[in-house]
Structure 1
Amino acid sequence: MTNILLVDDDINIVKLLTIHLAEQGYKVFQAKDGMEALEILKKEACDLAVVDVMMPFMDGYSLTKEIRKQYDIPVILLTAKSQIEDKEQGFQAGTDDYLVKPFEPKELIYRIKALLRRYDHQEDESVLRIGNTKINKKSYEVQIGNRTLLLPLKEFELLSYLISNPKHVFSREHLIEQIWGLDYQGDERTVDVHIKRLRERFSKLTDDFQIKTVRGVGYLLEVRRR
Structure 2
Amino acid sequence: MSDSTRQIAVVPDPASPELARTLDLAGYSWKAVGTTEAAAEAEPVGGWAGVIVNATDDLDGAWSFLRTVRKQNTVPTPALILVAGNQLAELEHRDDLFDDFCLSPFHPTELEARLRHLLSAEAEVQSADVVEYGSLALNLETYQASISGRSLDMTYMEYELLKFLAQNPGKVFTREILLSRVWGYEYYGGARTVDVHVRRLRAKLGEEHANLIQTVRSVGYRFGQSRWDS
TM-score, with length taken from structure 2: 0.43
Higher helix share: 1
Q: Between Structure 1 and Structure 2, whose CA radius of gyration is higher? A: 1
TM-score using structure 1 length: 0.44
